[in-house]
Amino acid sequence: MKRIFERLNEKYPIYNIKIRDMNLRELDKLSKDLGLSLNREEMIRIRSYFRHLNRDPTDVELQAIAQAWSEHCCYKSSKYVLKRYIIGIEAPQVYLTGEDAGVVELDNDHVYVFKMESHNHPSAVEPYGGAATGVGGIIRDVLCMGAKPIALVDSLFFGDFDYPEKKIPKGIKNPRFIFNGVIAGIRDYGNRVGIPTVAGLTYFDKAYSTNVLVNVGCVGVCKKENVIRSMVNKPGINLVLVGGKTGRDGIHGVNFASRSFKRNEKLEKTAVQLGNPIIKEPLIHAVLESVDKKLIHGMKDLGGGGLSSVVGEMVLAGGVGAEVYLEKIPLKEKDMAPWEIWISESQERMMLAVEDDKLDELLEIFSLWDVDATVVGRTIEEEKLILYYHGIKVMDLDTHFITSGPVYCRPYTIEYPGMKRFQTTPPEPDYEKVVKDILSNPNVSNKSYVIRQYDHEVKGGTVLKPLLGTLGSETHSDAPVIKPFDYLDIGLAITSTSNPRSTAIDPYKGAKGVVDEAIRNLVSSNAIPHSFADNLNMGNPENPVVMGQLYEIARGLGEIAREFKIPYVSGNVSLYNETNGISIPPTPTLMGIGIVKDINKIVTVDIKKENSIIYQINPTTAEMGGSLYYHIYGYESSLVPDVNKDMLRMAMNSILKAMENDIILSCHDISDGGLFVTLSEMSIGSGIGMEINLENISDIRTDFKLFSESNSRWVVEIDQSKEKDFLKIMEGVYLIKLGYTGGNEIVINDGERKIIKMHIDDIRDIWNTIPR
């Protein structure tokens, strides 16, 4: 048995690892035994580096490299794709990208900051803790740009509640348990830190039964002068660790997220945490106070990879190095080895870079808030990361080597159902039955059982609420709007969109549709679409078909955004969402922000009056691929709706102009479930019915008219007296007059044929179905 570990010090547990003499098999075994999750090529590269240095690495060095190089930390597989299609859309409002969160100009003096991230793998294992720590992490990302968090977004994808237990790998919970845990985790964390959860989506499909997706986003605001960079660019700056203490939590959590689940897998016990919002809440106060007093030079949040990633990234970006004294780090567990301290992922921690003359004042602020703040190191001129533990040097590595992990150009195959064109034409249905099936489908039905568990009113700035209309019979809104400053009338509209049914069939067109929907939602609230964050949830990138999906999705997301000059200011990729060799459908989630110039002019979805006119904007096409209607009944279609950029643009500009002139009383976009669902939601929220005739919609079948989910369409309510003005502003836009509001029923005819006649109360009752 060859001696692999060489103990360096009698008192403290520090080891050299004799990697230079290892053969390939031994390298593989080492990676496995130490939980490094590095492949053979990567191990070889490390071995060469140390052969070149003429020494062996310490265990601290090896763990640090493994962590930095893991998929999660440097997007090994996806960087290339993202750079090509998504990153770099030129737009004047972009203030800062490439740091912990994207920063966008709001006006001359203010910026807003946002990001969306995934916490998929931890939530599958421990849903409450996984979701809660996801929220905690994203808040910190926004906070560490110097911004005050003002809204949370959660986009969740759950499986089939009745999924057979035996198909679920050991250690993964069943979908119902996961659902309850995730909702509770987000609720308990978000409510306690006092940031309103206002937007998001909740999607159910059996494809997510063993791979839940938890995407969380956060939006913050601050004065331009207070934006803090995520880097340090001077030597001699103090590195101050603030927030929670460091323990063994989450060790190897980052590497863990870079692997798929397998049956009978023994899951890392240390990869799970619960999060502590009551440490976070005063931390937010202390940081914002310090930002306000201009005491912070640079700041970064400790997420995946812990101290190891954060210090490395902070100094690499600034062109300096750092010296850290591991024994200074406040610990919550005894006998931690130096490598454990360095890569721990304990929650609620941030790293602040503070100049000497500002240090005392900062430490006092933190002391008043009862939040730990400890000086643990300093930046140095050499571009190296040097760690000491009780005076013993345990790491001395070049910052470039550690943090610029390998970028792969993985092989890809473009292959998906949408490449062949086919669509079955089902027999015409019993409309009452379809209506019931669609309204009660968990992807359409009333989400108040989730939304009401989140305090979406805290901070008093939620002007357009996620549930609104007549008190007592509220309906879903399109894009909620927050008023971030009490002294400005500006609002930020927030939306999150995804369309897994479409992207599974045709990733390119489906992705274009996801962008289209984000634009539609924002415009519905009278917001100008301003910026995006993308979150790509994919399967196993080692499968060329999955890489192909990634390419096509990136291509689609980039194309529409580029056309409308809406930049992606931050993004996230989650790979390896796969169990037993079966990947999730490619699921891009978008988070979109729009600017509302005056919150008094927001537009909501609920019908305001009787005898108003109802118009549909833009035509309906018979592209049924990915539609809920076809999905429920198992009909096949590869025709995912495309996006006509010109029609989208013309409609968008005209609608916003009409809203500016107070012509549009209510507006709702057409998406899941088609026109019927849109009309229903507008009536449900108001108690005012409508009489609609579909005959003016293009020459397609009635069921397609009602249930098609083709893109770029809205329904608007116009006061009769304003019709002329409306038509003038909308000149050049494809309009279809549908009918009038009034009464307490929804009556839908197609020409002479009577299709639907239902009382709003009955529609509402069906829509109020809660998934069992």
Partner 1 sequence: MVKVKIYVEYKENVEDPEALTVKKSLSLLGFEGIENVKISKVYELEIKGNKNSAKKKALEICDKLLVNPVIHKYEVNVE
Partner 2 sequence: MILGTYGTQYQGDFMKVEDIKVALLRIEGTNCEDESLTALKYLGAKPEHVHLNELIKKKKSLEDYQMLFIPGGFSAGDYIRAGVIFAARIKATIKSDLLKFIEEGKIVLGVCNGFQVLIELGILPGIENVWDEKPEAVLAPNISNRFECRWIYLKKEKSVCPFYETLPEKVFSMPIAHAEGRFMLPENKEKYMLNKIIENGQIAFRYVDKDGNYADYPWNPNGSLYNIAGICNRFGNVIGMMPHPERAFFPYQNLEFKRGNIETPGKYIFDGILKYISRKF
Burial 290-300 (b: 16+ CB within 10 A, else e): bbeeebbbbbb
Sites for partner 2 among residues 582-601 (CB under 8 A): 599-600
- β-strand pairing of 213-223 with 148-158: antiparallel
Residue 276 interacts with partner 1 (CB under 8 A)?
Answer: yes
Report how far residue 767's alpha carbon sits from residue 769's, in angstroms, rounded to the nearest whole number.
Answer: 5
Closest by CA position to 498, among listed 203, 256, 739:
203
Tell me if 267 contacts partner 1 by CB under 8 A.
yes
CB 143, min distance to partner 1, A = 19
How many residues sit close enough to partner 1 to count as binding (CB under 8 A)? Answer: 22
> Is 279 within 8 Å of 244 (Cβ atoms)?
yes
* Interaction residues for partner 1, span 322-341 (CB under 8 A): 332
Q: Is 135 in the site for partner 2 (CB under 8 A)?
A: no
Q: Which lies closer to partner 2 via its Cβ, residue 370 or residue 432?
A: 370
The CA angle 460-155-475, to the nearest 5 degrees, is: 55
| List 176, 223, 234, 459, residue binding partner 2 (CB under 8 A) | 459
- The catalytically annotated residue of 72, 121, 252, 456 is 72
Cβ atoms of residues 572 and 116 within 8 Å: yes
Instruction: Mark residues 112-151: x for contact with partner 1 by CB under 8 A, - for none.
Output: -------------xx--x----------------------
- Options 119, 252, 456, 530, the catalytic residue: 119
Size of the residue set binding partner 2 (CB under 8 A):
42
183 CA to centre of own chain: 16
Q: And the tokens for 473?
A: 């019979």
Judge whether 72 counts as a catalytic residue: yes
User: Within positions 155 to 214, which residues make up the interface with partner 1, using CB under 8 A?
Assistant: 171, 173-174, 177
The answer to whether the CB of 126 falls within 8 A of the CB of 182 is: no
Distance in angstroms (rounded) separating the CA atoms of residues 605 and 595: 18
Choosing from 134, 277, 318, 567, the residue that interacts with partner 1 (CB under 8 A) is 277
**377: phi then psi, degrees, rounded to nearest 5:** 180, -170
52 binds, among partner 2, partner 1, none (CB under 5 to 8 A by kind): none
Single residue of 273, 496, 521, 570 touching partner 1 by CB under 8 A:
273
In this structure, how many other beta carbons lie within 10 angstroms of the beta carbon of residue 268? 16
Name the burial class of residue 289, with classes exposed (0-12), middle (13-18) and buried (19+) by CB atoms within 10 angstroms of its CB.
middle
Contacted by 459, from partner 2, partner 1, none: CB < 5 to 8 Å by type: partner 2
Contact 459/194 with Cβ under 8 angstroms? yes
CA atoms lying within 13 Å on the CB side of residue 352: 29
Q: Which of 97, 404, 470, 749 binds partner 2 (CB under 8 A)?
A: 470
Contact partner at residue 272 from partner 2, partner 1, none, CB < 5 to 8 Å by partner kind: partner 1
Q: C-beta of 64: minimal distance to partner 1 in Å?
A: 22
AA identity, residue 676: F
Phi, psi of 696, rounded to the nearest 5 degrees: -80, -10
Interaction pattern, residues 361-400, with partner 2; x per rule: CB under 8 A: -------xxx------------------------------
> Which amino acid is located at 556 in the chain?
G
The verdict on 611 binding partner 2 (CB under 8 A) reads no
Q: Does 604 bind partner 2 (CB under 8 A)?
A: yes
Q: Which of residues 240-259 bind partner 1 (CB under 8 A)?
A: 247-249
With contacts defined by CB under 8 A, name the span among 174-182, 241-249, 451-459, 675-683 that binds partner 2: 451-459
Contact, 214 vs 134, CB < 8 A?
yes
List the strands of the sheet with 213-223, edge to edge: 94-96, 102-105, 110-118, 213-223, 148-158, 197-204
Per partner kind, with CB cut-offs from 5 to 8 A, the member of partner 2, partner 1, none near residue 33 is none
Is there binding between residue 193 and partner 2 (CB under 8 A)? yes
Among 137, 305, 461, 548, binds partner 2 (CB under 8 A): 461
Report the interhelical angle of 127-143 vs 277-292 (nearest 10°): 0
Torsion-angle region of residue 576: left (phi > 0), alpha (psi -120 to 50) or beta? left
Residue selected from 72, 456, 476, 501 as contacting partner 2 according to rule CB under 8 A: 456
Q: CB under 5 to 8 A by kind: which of partner 2, partner 1, none does 350 bind?
A: none
User: Shortest Cβ distance from residue 105 to partner 1 (Å)?
Assistant: 37
Active site residues: 72, 119
Contacts to partner 1 by CB under 8 A: 125-126, 129, 171, 173-174, 177, 247-249, 267, 269-270, 272-279, 332
Contacts to partner 2 by CB under 8 A: 187, 191-194, 277-278, 281-282, 368-370, 451-463, 465, 468-472, 474, 483, 486, 599-600, 602-604, 606, 608, 686
